[in-house]
Amino acid sequence: MPATHLLRALPSIDALLRTSEARALGERTGLPRLTALARNVTDELRAELQSRTKDAAAATTVAAANNATAANGDFSRESLLAEAVKRLERAVEAMEANRLRRVINATGVILHTNLGRAPLSAAARRAVAEEAAGYCTLEYDLKTGARGKRGARVEELLAELTGAEAALVVNNCAAAALLILSTLARDGETIISRGELVEIGGDFRVPDVMAGSGTCMVEVGTTNRTKLADYERAVNEWTRLILRVHPSNYRIVGFTAAPALSELTALAHENNLIVYEDAGSGALFDLGAYNLDEPVISESIKGGADIVSFSGDKLLGATQAGLIVGRRDLVERCRRNSLYRVLRADKLALAALAATLDSHARGATFTEVPAMRMLAASRAGIEKRARAFLRRARTRLGAEVFQFEIIAGESAIGGGSAPTTHPPTALIAITHARVSAAALEAKFRQARPPVIARILNERVVLDLRTVASEEESELLDALAHVLKTHEEQSRV
């Protein structure tokens, strides 16, 4: 067919937008955005049609491989319009896939960094949606009618729960480290053990943050052994601060040594220096019963640390934030630093933090805070839920569609916390006679909402530790979705 005839059959952007499918898509995207996508679709088809006339054989191969043109070589106006509609629908789906979406986390990784770490409690969600989403008392004092203190309630709760004199909140833990070092050690030296020069996910490195803060890093000791005498020899007139970093995401075992916090604080205070502990994940309470050895912030304060920072979206179980607690004079110096305004938390984060901290203060940590509830869940309890879920699945889907089995497995803490701790769990293992594990896992990701699972020994496994009980019905819907899409594709 001559190129001019093919190009004449190509639908115009206007014709494409007038189709019933495009009108429905326009309600989701808006006309300007849909018009841009339609232009891309028609441009793509035009380029393929022009290429076909230049090299028919090559174009036939491309069309077969990519479904580039109408089926069976039909280049009629109707077929090309139908193909354009399909491509427009795929373009909209691809665009929407990039937005922030809720997912069901069935991986068993409690603080899954890629999935937003700690899920918010019901109280935190209400605080964000009902109290902070509109106008609120972010910096307003209802008693006096004057300007109030940002984050006052959060700071009060942090001081109460950690035993610190004062507290401050910024937007993440790296920001907290930057603010503290910039305020307390700029133009001076900061001593740190070589074994604590850690790199956390996303290429965050302690040496880089220290360099950005304007302090001079002084390394002491070796990777596995650092002694108090190493710190003593490094102290000089330029020393401002001793930094201790908890290596949350790795462990050095075997022939190791490190001074206790009390030894470091004694040395520092004898020399009029500050001890700063970057506790990383941190914990408000001793979690040793769950095999976690993360620092307990109140113990760091009792041990003499002058200032401590830790994360809000890890073992605290709230939103992303950098939490600073310690001596009042040091915290206030950080507050007065102009960098604080750049790094401070917004009203949504403060609302979620206040609600979560209130749960901790009321002793409701393991009943109201999802991450802590997941951590405390027993293998027996998870297996009981899994068996009940499978009974529902077999009733709805039939016994022969999927092969289900409950197997022993391990969950993970995640978020750079407790890398050697793997709570025992019960996994739902799923196989299908004609569908690979990789294909099944991909179909789960295409459900609404998407389900994020794992593959273990060529089986898709679901860990209900990280699936809320109210999400189980949606998880069952996802199984039905996987079955439906497989049947539809089998008929094509």
The full 3-state SS of the chain, as one line of letters, equals: CCHHHHHHHCCCHHHHHCCHHHHHHHHHHCHHHHHHHHHHHHHHHHHHHHHHHHCHHHHHHHHHHHCCCCHHHCCCHHHHHHHHHHHHHHHHHHHHHCCCCCCEECCCEEECHHHCCCCCCHHHHHHHHHHHCCCCCCCECCCCCCECCCCHHHHHHHHHHHCCCEEEEECCHHHHHHHHHHHHCCCCEEEEEHHHCCEECCCEEHHHHHHHHCCEEEEECCCCECCHHHHHHHCCCCEEEEEEECCCCCCCCCCCECCCHHHHHHHHHHCCCEEEEECCCCECCCCHHHCCCCCEHHHHHHCCCCEEEEECCCCCCCCCCEEEEECHHHHHHHHHCCHHHHHECCHHHHHHHHHHHHHHHCCCHHHHCHHHHHHHCCHHHHHHHHHHHHHHHHHHHCCCCCEEEEEEEECEEECCECCCCCCEEEEEEEEECCECHHHHHHHHHCCCCCEECEEECCEEEEEHHHCCHHHHHHHHHHHHHHHHHHHHHHHC
In this structure, the answer to whether residues 476 and 410 fall within a common structural domain is yes
| CATH number of the domain within which 471 lies | 3.90.1150.180
| CATH number of the domain within which 160 lies | 3.40.640.10
What is the reported pLDDT for 287?
Answer: 92
Q: Which residues pair with 244 in a beta bridge?
A: 277
Examine the fold and report which residue of 308, 342, 368 is the final residue of a domain before the chain moves on.
368
Cβ atoms of 96 and 28 closer than 8 Å: yes
In a domain, 165, yes or no: yes
What is the reported pLDDT for 64?
Answer: 40
In a domain, 387, yes or no: yes
Examine the fold and report which residue of 334, 351, 368 is the final residue of a domain before the chain moves on.
368
In a domain, 117, yes or no: no
In this structure, the answer to whether residues 207 and 163 fall within a common structural domain is yes
What is the reported pLDDT for 481?
Answer: 84
Tokens (6 digits) for 82: 């139908």
In a domain, 33, yes or no: yes
In this structure, the answer to whether residues 364 and 423 fall within a common structural domain is no
In this structure, the answer to whether residues 323 and 418 fall within a common structural domain is no
Cβ atoms of 311 and 173 closer than 8 Å: yes
In a domain, 167, yes or no: yes
The rounded distance, in Å, linking the Cα atoms of 449 and 255 is: 48
In this structure, the answer to whether residues 176 and 306 fall within a common structural domain is yes
Give residues with Cβ within 8 angstroms of 360, minimum separation 6: 157, 161, 284, 285, 316, 369
In a domain, 306, yes or no: yes
In this structure, the answer to whether residues 262 and 280 fall within a common structural domain is yes
In this structure, the answer to whether residues 148 and 44 fall within a common structural domain is no
Examine the fold and report which residue of 319, 346, 368 is the final residue of a domain before the chain moves on.
368
The rounded distance, in Å, linking the Cα atoms of 44 and 198 is: 48
Q: Which residues pair with 429 in a beta bridge?
A: 405, 461
In this structure, the answer to whether residues 267 and 341 fall within a common structural domain is yes
Mean pLDDT per 10-residue segment, the chain (492 residues): 69 92 93 94 88 57 45 72 93 88 96 95 97 95 94 97 98 94 96 86 78 94 91 96 84 80 95 95 91 91 96 95 98 97 96 98 97 97 97 81 91 83 95 89 92 95 97 93 70 52
Residue 203 lies in domain: 122-368
In this structure, the answer to whether residues 363 and 384 fall within a common structural domain is no
What is the reported pLDDT for 252?
Answer: 72
Provide the residue type at 428 as one letter: I
Count of structural domains within the chain: 3
Q: For helices 173-184 and 206-213, what crossing angle results, to 10°?
A: 40
In this structure, the answer to whether residues 77 and 137 fall within a common structural domain is no
Cis peptide before 449 (omega within 30 of 0): yes
In a domain, 162, yes or no: yes
In this structure, the answer to whether residues 214 and 296 fall within a common structural domain is yes
Q: For helices 347-361 and 152-162, what crossing angle results, to 10°?
A: 30
In this structure, the answer to whether residues 333 and 227 fall within a common structural domain is yes
In a domain, 178, yes or no: yes
What is the reported pLDDT for 154?
Answer: 97
